[in-house]
Amino acid sequence: MTIEAQNPRLSAGSLLHQRDGRLTRELLLEPGAHGLGLAPQRLKPDATTSMVCGYCSTGCSLNVHLKDGQAVNLSPTTSYPVNLGMACPKGWEALTVLDAPDRATTPLLRNAAGRLAPVDWPTAMGEFVRRFQSIQRQHGPHSIAFLSTGQMPTEEMAFLGSLAKFGLGMLHGDGNTRQCMASAVVAYKQSFGFDSPPYSYADFEESDVLVFVGANPCLAHPIMWERVMRNRRSPEIVVIDPRATETAMAATQHLALAPKSDQTLFYGLARILIKNGWIDSRFINQSTAGFEQFWEFVQPFDLDRVVAETRLKASQIERLAETIHERGRSSFWWTMGVNQSHQGVRTAQSIINVALLTGNIGRPGTGANSITGQCNAMGSRLFSNTTGLLGGHDFTNAQHREKVAGVLGIDTATIPTENSLAYNEIMEGILRGKIKGLWVICTNPAHSWINQSSARDILDRLDFLVVQDMYHTTETAQRAHLVLPAAGWGEKEGTFINSERRIGVIKKVRKAPGQALADFQIFRLVAEAWGCGKMFSKWTSPAAVFESMKELSRGQPCDFSGVRDYAFLDERGGVQWPYPQEGGDDHPERRLFADGRFFHPDGRARFVFEEPRPMTELPSAQYPLLLLTGRGTASQWHTQTRTSKSAVLRKLYPEKPYVELNPGDAKRLAIVPNRWVTVSSQRGQMRALAVIAPTVAVGTVFIPMHYEATNRLTDAVFDPYSKQPSYKACAVRVSPD
Ligand SMILES: Nc1nc2c(c(=O)[nH]1)N[C@H]1C(S)=C(S)[C@@H](COP(=O)(O)OP(=O)(O)OC[C@H]3O[C@@H](n4cnc5c(=O)[nH]c(N)nc54)[C@H](O)[C@@H]3O)O[C@H]1N2
Ligand SMILES: Nc1nc2c(c(=O)[nH]1)N[C@H]1C(S)=C(S)[C@@H](COP(=O)(O)OP(=O)(O)OC[C@H]3O[C@@H](n4cnc5c(=O)[nH]c(N)nc54)[C@H](O)[C@@H]3O)O[C@H]1N2
Ligand code: SF4
Ligand SMILES: [Mo]
């Protein structure tokens, strides 16, 4: 019997049922049924189960309460080592946003009239294959690409990256993690030999000095901040941020430096520390390489120069050096104020260098610690198969390709031998007509990508744009030729890896609306429809993929082959990598590098440094102010596709776009509070309500990224090593309406 006969919802003419009717029927009719003992049908219908949150990288655990097999409510888990019973508003409201009326419930195909109209899955898959394959035939295999995410379970990322690159023959695929973590990734690889944030959240509580650089955890990582508040060592809290953020206001020292002068500051700081002998010579000798050259390099960064470039007071810089020296355990935490810069990699390394110099690594309360952003940015860094080959491997390394092929049971020849283009290069490829088809999964570039008018123009040039999202209303989905309706967090299963390398489980506690399917199942459908289903015959469930991921990780710094299964993760409150099969350390909160050995072949960390460079777009007579962008409140998430759907969250943030201005600038420009102003850059303009506050320095303004128009203003500038966009520096003008 064909599928159509069983289910009138499905139309004839699809490729699917011809290949494997059983598989397809299973996929279409029982979304999420590929259970592993965790799906609701196996959970007691009125049970409470726990799972990690699907927003930020803190990775809090939430207890989800079920009634008749469906989640009805949740509360934070008290026994989980991450959040200890706490959650922020987004976590508390995580279930509400699943019920939004704009959920994508059927595939949508743009019709002859130019409108997106509902179609069934077989038609959608048929179009997917026909259009992409025809582009490939006409323009070559690499004329289609994908953009993925840091917000899907690792199993889905691994599936997508493998399907696209090994099955569909794509060479180019990148993710929104480029917008976010690329600078930290490159910095760690070069400095430590592997992308390895070394800390555990216990370090928030065990530090004597916490230095936050370009990070606003009070609202971007509120539960990490709660951990800071639990610190009983009367810590010195230093915030290095041009703005007086919520976090800066709670600090004991706020260094409101000139934007993008952090690298100079940290070189100057290193110079003071070395000059005064406030360094750990034993650690430097045993565990690092390049100290002599670094010492020579920082000589010209004397206090006068650093004061001139950072616009800080000499006493502030000296006090920071003294604090680090006197108080002992210092930890350095950085986020987007560092990574999103024209020199993000070297700035991150300027921080790493100070931690290395002072031996502040591998001990409690120390570390050069990049805080990640999205719930599974860490999973994407290891398994998205974009920049790196699955499991922290390298596409250009023949041994790595063989290992991966062996574990997956595929022909080594299907694995690309070169790296993908980066996100910005994919966009440029579209502009140049080299890339004609794009598959966007779980990200919203028409809102979040830099220099938005140009980004939208580029997306609109595509012959075929497929967007796979929970909501059909996103700025990117509205431009798509084909929309694939995806299940979201809570409607599917898999694992996330949080900021401190902790692998945690998510579960299916809700049925996805309409015909929406877990991304995992969409990938299975694509594999079948494309004709490469056989290659993925072992990829039957997230749990099965998790087994392969364990094997892929074996022998790598991120080895988690000792994790038995999902239930093991549940029992343990998540498990941090590494957790190898032999000799795994069972301590619930672990840090790396306790033995002073790093991941370079000689075991030594590197001092990496370079002369700082000026920003590309400095304020001018026409655009006299510098725009900083970032997170606005704890209740808004990125492009707001999810958080704007909760009435509770909507009450907790300003509905209308706003721009924060210094009172001095406002006075000069005759701008009064809470009135509309126009903010313009060379690339575009937006209207915003004026918020006048001394939290921003004279000459700078701040606009949250959550409002659609913000990226009309930003300038497409990238770090040369990480290709991460510099979202936090461009010249603007503000004029009253
Ligand atoms: N509520 C909420 N939480 C989130 C998110 C969200 O959207 N909403 N997103 C998550 C994600 S993906 C990420 S990546 C993180 C981001 O977390 P954060 O990086 O903490 O947040 P941002 O506000 O983007 O940037 C942090 C700070 O960098 C400062 N900054 C700008 N330029 C410079 C500079 O040159 N030097 C220094 N030192 N500082 C500078 C800004 O003033 C800002 O206060 O948050 C995560 N958590
Ligand atoms: N100006 C400015 N711009 C920025 C930044 C900044 O600081 N300033 N920060 C940058 C950073 S750090 C980041 S991380 C990016 C974030 O940028 P985006 O990734 O574009 O933002 P999100 O809103 O998180 O988009 C995620 C999309 O995935 C969908 N989705 C959620 N769950 C699922 C799922 O399970 N499956 C599928 N298929 N879809 C799902 C959501 O509905 C949403 O449309 O923005 C960047 N842009
Ligand atoms: S802090 Fe992050 S992980 Fe924790 S509840 Fe809030 S959004 Fe979720
Ligand atoms: Mo991010």
Q: Tell me, what CATH number does 660's domain have?
A: 2.40.40.20
Chain centroid to CA 318: how far? 34
Using CA atoms in the order 624, 244, 151, 406, what is the torsion angle rounded to 10 degrees? 90
220 lines ligand 3 (CB under 6 A): no
Instruction: Answer yes or no: is 51 within a domain.
Output: no
636 lines ligand 1 (CB under 6 A): yes
303 CA → ligand 4 middle, Å? 33
Judgement on whether residues 176 and 187 belong to the same structural domain of the protein: no
233, pLDDT greater than 70: yes
Judgement on whether residues 367 and 393 belong to the same structural domain of the protein: no
223 lines ligand 3 (CB under 6 A): yes
Beginning with the edge strand found earlier in the chain, give each strand of the sheet holding 144-148 in spatial order.
116-118, 108-110, 482-485, 464-469, 437-441, 144-148, 172-175
Chain centroid to CA 704: how far? 17
Cβ–Cβ < 8 Å for 430, 438: yes
266, pLDDT greater than 50: yes
User: What pLDDT does 35 receive?
Assistant: 36
227 lines ligand 3 (CB under 6 A): no
Beginning with the edge strand found earlier in the chain, give each strand of the sheet holding 502-508 in spatial order.
491-497, 502-508, 575-576
22, pLDDT greater than 50: no
Indicate which residue's Cα is closest to atom 26 of ligand 1: 215
Indicate which residue's Cα is closest to atom 4 of ligand 1: 220
User: What pLDDT does 285 receive?
Assistant: 98
Judgement on whether residues 267 and 386 belong to the same structural domain of the protein: no
- Give CA–CA dist 732/113, Å, rounded: 39
176 CA → ligand 2 middle, Å? 7
- Give CA–CA dist 128/106, Å, rounded: 15
Q: What angle do CA 344, 350, 351 make, to 5 degrees?
A: 95
Cβ–Cβ < 8 Å for 223, 198: no
176 lines ligand 2 (CB under 6 A): yes
- Nearest atom of ligand 1 to the alpha carbon of 635: 1
- Identify the three-state secondary structure at position 270: helix
Cβ–Cβ < 8 Å for 200, 321: no
Instruction: Answer yes or no: is 110 within a domain.
Output: no
Q: Which of 51, 52, 55 to mutate to test the pocket of ligand 3 (most atoms within 8 A of CB)?
A: 55
Of the pLDDT bands very low, low, confident and very high (cuts 50, 70, 90), residue 525 is very high
Nearest CA to 177 among 386, 8, 475?
386
Instruction: Answer yes or no: is 132 within a domain.
Output: yes
Q: Which one-letter amino acid corresponds to residue 284?
A: I
Range of the domain at 353: 182-371
Ligand approaching nearest to the C-alpha of 371: 1
Judgement on whether residues 277 and 186 belong to the same structural domain of the protein: yes
54, pLDDT greater than 90: yes
662 CA → ligand 1 middle, Å? 20
User: What pLDDT does 488 receive?
Assistant: 98
- Where is 398: in which H helix or E strand? helix 398-408
- Give CA–CA dist 108/476, Å, rounded: 13
Judgement on whether residues 222 and 363 belong to the same structural domain of the protein: yes
- Give CA–CA dist 106/121, Å, rounded: 8
Ligand approaching nearest to the C-alpha of 443: 2
Instruction: Answer yes or no: is 449 within a domain.
Output: yes
422, pLDDT greater than 70: yes
Nearest CA to 631 among 249, 337, 332?
337
124 lines ligand 2 (CB under 6 A): no
Judgement on whether residues 459 and 533 belong to the same structural domain of the protein: yes
Tally of CB atoms within 10 A around 472: 21
Q: Which one-letter amino acid corresponds to residue 590?
A: R
Of the pLDDT bands very low, low, confident and very high (cuts 50, 70, 90), residue 25 is very low
221 CA → ligand 3 middle, Å? 7
2, pLDDT greater than 50: no
User: Which CATH number goes with the domain that contains 242?
Assistant: 3.40.228.10
User: What pLDDT does 42 receive?
Assistant: 64
Q: What is the pLDDT of residues 609-644, one digit of tens each?
A: 999 999 999 999 999 999 999 999 999 999 999 999
- Give CA–CA dist 361/203, Å, rounded: 11
Residue 625 main-chain phi, psi, to 5 deg: -110, 155
440 CA → ligand 3 middle, Å? 25
- Identify the three-state secondary structure at position 353: helix
- Identify the three-state secondary structure at position 289: strand
Sign of torsion, CA 272 274 276 281? positive
The single residue listed with the structure tokens 């598989």 is 23
Q: How many domains does the chain have?
A: 3
The region that residue 54 occupies, defined by phi over 0 for left and psi between -120 and 50 for alpha, beta otherwise, is alpha
By CB neighbour count within 10 A (0-12 exposed, 13-18 middle, 19+ buried), where does 409 fall? Answer: exposed
Instruction: Answer yes or no: is 687 within a domain.
Output: yes
The percentage of residues in the chain with a pLDDT greater than 70, rounded to a whole number, is: 94
Tally of CB atoms within 10 A around 219: 18
End of a domain among 334, 352, 371? Answer: 371
Instruction: Answer yes or no: is 381 within a domain.
Output: yes
Of the pLDDT bands very low, low, confident and very high (cuts 50, 70, 90), residue 576 is very high
- Nearest atom of ligand 3 to the alpha carbon of 223: 1
Q: What is the pLDDT of residues 452-470, one digit of tens each?
A: 999 999 999 999 999 999 9
104 CA → ligand 1 middle, Å? 30
87 CA → ligand 3 middle, Å? 6
374 lines ligand 2 (CB under 6 A): yes
User: Which CATH number goes with the domain that contains 479?
Assistant: 3.40.50.740
Cβ–Cβ < 8 Å for 700, 633: no
Least confident segment among 26-30, 357-361, 366-370, 533-537: 26-30
66 CA → ligand 4 middle, Å? 31
Judgement on whether residues 191 and 210 belong to the same structural domain of the protein: yes
Chain centroid to CA 32: how far? 25
- Give CA–CA dist 475/711, Å, rounded: 13
Partners of 703 in beta bridges: 629
Judgement on whether residues 295 and 442 belong to the same structural domain of the protein: no
Judgement on whether residues 522 and 397 belong to the same structural domain of the protein: yes
**Residue with the larger pLDDT of the pair 462 and 10:** 462
> What does the DSSP 8-state code read for residue 422?
P
Q: What are the start-end ranges of the H helices in 147-261?
A: 154-162, 182-192, 202-206, 217-220, 222-229, 246-249
pLDDT average, residue stretch 12-27: 40
- Nearest atom of ligand 2 to the alpha carbon of 631: 7
Cβ–Cβ < 8 Å for 330, 175: no
pLDDT average, residue stretch 287-303: 98
- For the whole model, what pTM was predicted? 0.95
Instruction: Answer yes or no: is 574 within a domain.
Output: no
Cβ–Cβ < 8 Å for 318, 356: no
- Give CA–CA dist 385/323, Å, rounded: 42
Rounded mean pLDDT of the chain?
94
Q: Which of 53, 216, 442, 660 to mutate to test the pocket of ligand 1 (most atoms within 8 A of CB)?
A: 216
Query: What is the greatest pairwise CA distance in the chain?
Result: 82
Of the pLDDT bands very low, low, confident and very high (cuts 50, 70, 90), residue 13 is very low
Judgement on whether residues 473 and 354 belong to the same structural domain of the protein: no
CB-based contacts of 723, cutoff 8 Å, min separation 6: 178, 182, 422, 423, 424, 425
Of the pLDDT bands very low, low, confident and very high (cuts 50, 70, 90), residue 584 is confident
705 lines ligand 2 (CB under 6 A): yes
Of the pLDDT bands very low, low, confident and very high (cuts 50, 70, 90), residue 46 is confident
Judgement on whether residues 460 and 337 belong to the same structural domain of the protein: no
pLDDT average, residue stretch 130-141: 98
Number of helices (H) and strands (E) in the chain: give both, helices first.
27, 26
- Identify the three-state secondary structure at position 301: coil
End of a domain among 338, 371, 404? Answer: 371
214 lines ligand 1 (CB under 6 A): yes
198 lines ligand 1 (CB under 6 A): no
Indicate which residue's Cα is closest to atom 1 of ligand 3: 223
Indicate which residue's Cα is closest to atom 37 of ligand 1: 214
Of the pLDDT bands very low, low, confident and very high (cuts 50, 70, 90), residue 14 is very low
127 lines ligand 2 (CB under 6 A): no
End of a domain among 325, 353, 371? Answer: 371
Indicate which residue's Cα is closest to atom 2 of ligand 3: 56
Q: Which of 55, 88, 380, 631 to mutate to test the pocket of ligand 1 (most atoms within 8 A of CB)?
A: 631
Angle between helices 154-162 and 519-530 (to 10 degrees): 20
Instruction: Answer yes or no: is 615 within a domain.
Output: no
Judgement on whether residues 207 and 296 belong to the same structural domain of the protein: yes
User: What pLDDT does 3 receive?
Assistant: 35
593, pLDDT greater than 70: yes
